[in-house]
Amino acid sequence: MRESVRRRFIVRFAIPLIVGMGLLVGAFHYLGLLDRYLNLEAQSLAWLLNRMGLTAYCWRNTVWLHPVIGAVTLSCSSLGSAIILLFLFLLTPTVPVGRNIAAAVLAVGLVYIGNLLRLMLVLIIGHYWGAASMLTFHDWFGPAITILYVLIAYWIWSLIVVKRRRRPYFYYRWD
Amino acid sequence: MTERYKSDESKVIDLKTNRESTEVREKLENTEKGKRSRITLALITVILLLTLCVISGSLVAFLRNLSILIVAFYCVYLARHLSFAWAALAVRWRPSELVTDLPAKLPRVTILVAAHNEDRVIERLVRALMNLNYPEDLREVIVVDDASTDSTPAILERLRKEHPSLRVIRRTEEERRKTPGKPAALNRGLLEATGEIVVVYDADHIPDRNAVMRLVMHFADPKVGAVMGRCKIMNRDENILTKLVYIDYLSGYLVNEYGREAFYSLPAFGGSNCAIRRSILETYGGFNERSVTEDTDITTRLILDGYRVVYDREALSIEEAPNRLTRFIRQRYRWAFGHQHVFYDYWLETLKSRHLRMVDKIELLLFLFLYHAPVVMFVGLILGFLWALGLFIPTSVPLAWLLWTLLFLGPFLEIGAGVIAEWREGEEPPNPGYLILFIPLFFISIFICTKAFIDGLVYPLIGRKYIWVKTPRREI
């Protein structure tokens, strides 16, 4: 069993994962997609803040919301979590392709929105309570929010991927 | 087929004599071997740290390089977690690949139960064992009452009258004081065992009617030395902790154990709902009484001796989860302490093994090193705090990001895969929202494993010995 499983793991998971990741990282790094992605996140952030009635300006990956300026960097971005979630579909090859892709895309979308909300909170705190509060919130509460939205995205992903055939919890209880 | 189960009279050794000789041998050999193995490990660790210091040149550079090493370490474990998660979700369970067929002649089986103050649970276990789907004339049940002070002896006496095939052995308080712990109690039962296969159950278990039959089936293959079944938690909905332990067991049995079986055929032999050939146990002088995780000890010895350990996830048994944090901590501390010491005892032999291929050696070492991973995580967290306080800056921000991601990603992947695998099987799933509560549980695990690690270093120096701590039960 183990030989065939190892081979299948390499062919169907490890190689597609490494090649896919390599292509994505290469595309983001060499084709300038990274800057575009960061700019897109910054623009979305500014748009969201403006919709909330706050005056925010965006220039490239930087958002200005008086009196603070925030830059969306790689570590601030949702890109890492999105890539990890995107490749989750490789874990479930037995699920129909359409459902698998839809689940991955939805999870990535949720991560994008979740991160946007986190960044928005960071800037709003900076807007009302100043840069020091903003940094404290960003450094100490930011990771907790990240974990929360990644888990929610993962939860939604599993909801779509898994076929639900419920049996009562104690179905195997014997007397 | 029949020949396989025929006891080879010429090889049968009197267990008492064998145990005594093994004890002497262990004192002479094992301690020497163990000492050599531990000293070598300590030397290698010191040399590695000194080399890192010399290469780094300064404290800050040392911390940076250490963080790189931790990231590399977690990358290895992430690959392992990832492969197991993939196996759990992508590889269908095909028992036909493991089990040939039912043996033509079933072997005689001895079911051993060690019981110390188990009056809340022992009756239901004995009744379940008496109700097993296994020929009555081919099974014997031996319960070793390990100097219980509650009503366990009275319950066992009543059950013995009800079921004449039940055998009850009582260890005195003096015997218990002399050799405490489950392995010693099991070894006492082993002296009376007549079955070719020994099946072990903890007192809080309730095995499925077919569990023993399924475990025994695999011994049709003469290479199989031991078989492990699947354990599930029966009191999942009692409180938040039992829910988390339930999810933890899903990842343990549906992802980790299954992954080890599917990828390497190296699953672990657990302490309950498991079977082993008596002849092997006799050769080993019974269960290792020096170890507080005798199951991991046996697993390693079996694998190093070239036997196959099989995992059958359809050999099901349900058990109680600790329902209080203190009980949980005590149980996990014992697991961590014992597991870490098995690594110290056998890492060198694993590397030297002639039965294993390199990939299997790496997997076995990773498995044995598992309870050190939270200790490494502890170092990673300290680096994280130093970074937050501005005392240390990692080489690059992506590296720090990677460090934080890797600390939690691997375990989360495994736990999540366990929940999904359970779900896919059609079980009513636990709410995946509980996954978030694993973050505090990880921190508790870090604390437990780090304490076990430090105690393991300090105890030999101050002449203290860690003694088996039993997890208290409650009737459900």
Q: What is the pLDDT of residues B42-94, one digit of tens each?
A: 899 899 989 988 888 888 888 888 888 888 888 898 889 989 998 888 887 66
Q: In what order do the strands lie in the sheet with B139-146?
A: B166-171, B139-146, B109-115, B197-202, B274-277, B224-233, B308-319, B206-207
Tokens of B87: 């196996």
Q: How many independent structural domains does chain A possess?
A: 1
CA dist A12 → A17, A85, B90 (Å):
9, 17, 10
pLDDT in tens, A75-128: 788 888 888 888 888 888 878 888 888 888 999 999 999 999 999 999 999 999
Say if B350 falls within a structural domain: no
Residue A133 has, within 13 A of its CA and on its CB side, a CA count of: 12
Please give the Cα distance from B44 to B15 (Å, whole number).
39
B157-176 CB burial, b ≥16 within 10 A, e <16: eebbeeeeebbbbbbeeeeb
B109 pairs with which residues across the strands?
B139, B197
ipTM exceeding 0.90, yes/no: no
pLDDT in tens, A144-160: 788 888 888 888 888 78
Q: Which of A74, A91, A155 sits opposite B432 (nearest CB)?
A: A155
Same domain, yes or no: B315 and B256:
yes
Same domain, yes or no: B189 and B302:
yes
* Chain A interface includes B405 (CB < 8 A): yes
Tokens of A18: 């490494």
Nearest to B227 by CA among B162, B280, B176, B188: B280
Say if A132 falls within a structural domain: yes
- Please report the number of interchain residue pairs, chain A to chain B, with beta-carbon separation below 8 angstroms: 103
Task: Tell me which residue range forms the domain holding A83.
Answer: 32-161
| Share of residues in chain B with pLDDT > 70 (%) | 84
Task: Tell me which residue range forms the domain holding B238.
Answer: 95-329
**A contact residues 128-167, partner B, Cβ 8 Å cutoff:** 139-140, 143, 147-148, 151, 154-155, 158, 161-167
Pick the residue from chain B with its C-alpha nearest to A171.
B427
**Best residue in B86, B99, B130, B396 to probe A by mutation, most A CBs within 10 Å?**
B86
A56 pairs with which residues across the strands?
A65
Cβ separation of B263 and A92 shorter than 8 Å? no
Cis omega before residue A96 (within 30°)? no
* Chain A interface includes B164 (CB < 8 A): no
Whether A37 has a pLDDT exceeding 80, the answer reads yes
Pick the residue from chain B with its C-alpha nearest to A93.
B90
Same domain, yes or no: B136 and B194:
yes
Torsions phi, psi for A88 (to 5 deg): -60, -25
Cβ separation of B397 and A74 shorter than 8 Å? yes
Same domain, yes or no: B64 and B171:
no
Say if A16 falls within a structural domain: no
Confidence of residue B394 (pLDDT cuts 50, 70, 90): low
Say if A13 falls within a structural domain: no
pLDDT in tens, B179-236: 888 899 999 999 999 999 999 999 999 999 989 998 998 898 889 999 999 999 998 8
| pTM for the predicted model, two decimal places | 0.84
Q: List the single range of B62-71, B162-171, B442-451 with lowest mean pLDDT.
A: B62-71
* Chain B interface includes A64 (CB < 8 A): no
Tokens of A135: 């940094």
Nearest to B259 by CA among B98, B90, B405, B373: B90
- Residue with more model confidence, B376 or B399: B376
Q: Which of A2, A13, A168 sits opposite B86 (nearest CB)?
A: A13
Nearest to B121 by CA among B315, B320, B348: B320
Please give the Cα distance from B203 to B206 (Å, whole number).
8
Same domain, yes or no: B416 and B312:
no
Nearest to A69 by CA among A16, A131, A162, A129: A131
Residues near B384 by Cβ (< 8 Å), separated by ≥ 6?
B400, B403, B404
* Chain B interface includes A32 (CB < 8 A): no
Same domain, yes or no: B323 and B248:
yes
Q: Which of B388, B401, B426 sits opposite A165 (nearest CB)?
A: B426
Q: What is the DSSP string of B107-132?
A: PPEEEEEEESS-TTTHHHHHHHHHT-
Please give the Cα distance from A34 to A22 (Å, whole number).
14
pLDDT in tens, B18-42: 444 445 445 445 556 677 888 888 8
What angle do the packed helices A2-9 and B257-264 form, to 10 degrees?
A: 100
Q: Under a CB-based contact definition with an 8 Å cutoff, are residues B323 and B208 in contact? A: no
Pick the residue from chain A with its C-alpha nearest to B390.
A139
Residues near A71 by Cβ (< 8 Å), separated by ≥ 6?
A42, A61, A62, A63
Residues near B330 by Cβ (< 8 Å), separated by ≥ 6?
B322, B469, B471
Q: Under a CB-based contact definition with an 8 Å cutoff, are residues A112 and A78 in contact? A: yes
Pick the residue from chain A with its C-alpha nearest to B128.
A175
Q: Under a CB-based contact definition with an 8 Å cutoff, are residues B246 and B430 in contact? A: yes
Most confident region among B358-362, B382-386, B387-391, B469-473 by mean pLDDT:
B358-362
Say if B318 falls within a structural domain: yes
Say if B335 falls within a structural domain: no
DSSP code at position A92? -
Q: Under a CB-based contact definition with an 8 Å cutoff, are residues B247 and B419 in contact? A: yes
H or E element in which residue A4 lies: helix A2-9
Say if B168 falls within a structural domain: yes
Please give the Cα distance from A126 to A138 (Å, whole number).
10
Q: How many independent structural domains does chain B possess?
A: 2
- Residue with more model confidence, B270 or B432: B270
Q: What pLDDT was estimated at residue B229?
A: 94
Q: What pLDDT was estimated at residue B2?
A: 35
Q: Under a CB-based contact definition with an 8 Å cutoff, are residues A155 and B430 in contact? A: no
Same domain, yes or no: B318 and B442:
no
Please give the Cα distance from A83 to B302 (Å, whole number).
41
Say if B55 falls within a structural domain: yes
Same domain, yes or no: B77 and B121:
no
Q: What would the mean pLDDT of B298-324 be, rounded to a whole number?
A: 91
Same domain, yes or no: B436 and B408:
yes
Please give the Cα distance from B334 to B455 (Å, whole number).
11
Q: Which of B89, B94, B428 sits opposite A91 (nearest CB)?
A: B89
CATH of the domain at B237: 3.90.550.10
Same domain, yes or no: B75 and B106:
no
Residues near A48 by Cβ (< 8 Å), separated by ≥ 6?
A116, A120
Confidence of residue B270 (pLDDT cuts 50, 70, 90): confident
Listed residues B281, B307, B329: the one ending a domain = B329
Please give the Cα distance from A6 to A18 (Å, whole number).
16
Say if A19 falls within a structural domain: no
Please give the Cα distance from B215 to B458 (Å, whole number).
40
Listed residues B329, B349, B376: the one ending a domain = B329
Cβ separation of A162 and B432 shorter than 8 Å? no
Strand duo A62-65 + B197-202: pairing: unpaired
Please give the Cα distance from B200 to B191 (Å, whole number).
14
Beta strands in chain A (DSSP E): 56-59, 62-65, 68-71
Nearest to B196 by CA among B276, B299, B136: B276
Residue B161 has, within 13 A of its CA and on its CB side, a CA count of: 5
Say if B20 falls within a structural domain: no
Q: What would the mean pLDDT of B144-160 be, rounded to a whole number?
A: 93
Q: What pLDDT was estimated at residue B332?
A: 93
